Amino acid sequence: MGPGWCGHEVPERIAAGPMSASPIYLDHNATTPVDPAVLDAMLPFLRDRFGNPSSAHAYGKVAAEALARARAQVAALIEASPEEIVFTSCATESINTAIKGIAFARRMQAKHLFVMSAVEHPAAAEAVRYLEREHDGVVAVVPVEQDGRVDPWRVLAAAGENTALVTLIHAQNETGALQPLQQIGEVLRSRGVPFHVDASQSIGKVPVSVSALACDTLSLAGHKLYAPKGVGALYVREGVELHPLLHGAPYEGGRRGGTANVAYAVGLGAACELAMGWLKGGGPDRLRARRDRLHRLLEADTGAVLNGPREERLPNTLNLSFPGVVGNELLEATPEIAASTGSACHAGKHEPSSVLLAMGRSPQVALGAVRLSLGRGTTDREVDRAAKALTAAWRKLANAKP
């Protein structure tokens, strides 16, 4: 056992460092580790630089300056201006603020239409369903093609008169499918329809520019790009009105009450700056090469089939359906890796992922899916070991089937 935290003993594996004897981590779409440089940037603000950024004295000024720098760092990554960034607690808060905040600011009325795709994260889908249920909104769900991408023209055809908002995921969390948003944003803007983008998965993995996407609001989460859980951000284009979810003191330009979480905002800012360097330094190409190596090995040895587009996809994400097995059972039989499936478990029975079903996969193929999401720190050796372990477990399970 290692030294205690708050009087509790820390399990040896964690005390020795999360990666020492632990499974190979291939679940970066669920959450990323905190980059040591991010933690270093945060620590002073959890120790002696503890001021409230609204205070007029020296402690407050130090905090306010740090917050301003963090805001500029987040803005720079997505080509926004600092005043357009609102710090939040997570992507779910950012998404809810955008969807409900815009609907309420535009005096949402019964029968106002909300458009989303069939593969939104629950953070967006449930916010829209809430407006449908409690405020008499109408929801149009745009289907996706077999590769998990929407046809832009179907979105634009759905977003007719009386549309309160269109919300679309940029990169799908299970498949990594990148949606063709550019073609959609420009047209929606010309029609005066507000457009929200959930970029929680794409930020830090591929370049994201709010002007290229022509969106009005865009959401992101710190813990998907090597900052901690507990911080997110919302981009709100200048001139776009939204009601805050948290009413209170007029912080964040009146868009969110509550004293800013300075240390975590600093962490998010540092993570955004690191991401910019990684994106410019060829990080995505290196990651894609490793991901594709894992794909080739698994495809050759098991006949697993890809869920999602080959090209228009996050460079780290590999969603494969393994023939003849259930994804959850395969992962249980492969303790050497930490990964996930999109399937839900109800009363001990696995339900296929709704995202894969929306792509036209059969329930059986969807149940065989495993999502492998690599990170910046994933090595070639880990890729080879993961492929070997998964293949061995798959052989055992598939051969054991009658």
Q: Which is nearer to ligand PLP, 41 or 123 (CB)?
A: 123
Q: Which is nearer to ligand PLP, 121 or 205 (CB)?
A: 121
CA atoms within 13 A on the CB side of 369: 30
Q: Which is nearer to ligand PLP, 357 or 398 (CB)?
A: 357
CB of 91 to ligand PLP, least distance (A): 3
CB of 263 to ligand PLP, least distance (A): 18
CB of 181 to ligand PLP, least distance (A): 13
Catalytic residue among 6, 90, 272, 345: 345
Q: Tell me, yes or no, if 215 is annotated catalytic.
A: no
CB of 92 to ligand PLP, least distance (A): 3
Q: Which is nearer to ligand PLP, 217 or 302 (CB)?
A: 217
| Binding region for ligand PLP (CB under 6 A) | 90-92, 121, 123, 169, 173, 198, 200-201, 221, 223
CB of 352 to ligand PLP, least distance (A): 19
Q: Which is nearer to ligand PLP, 103 or 221 (CB)?
A: 221
Q: Point out the residues that are catalytic.
A: 345
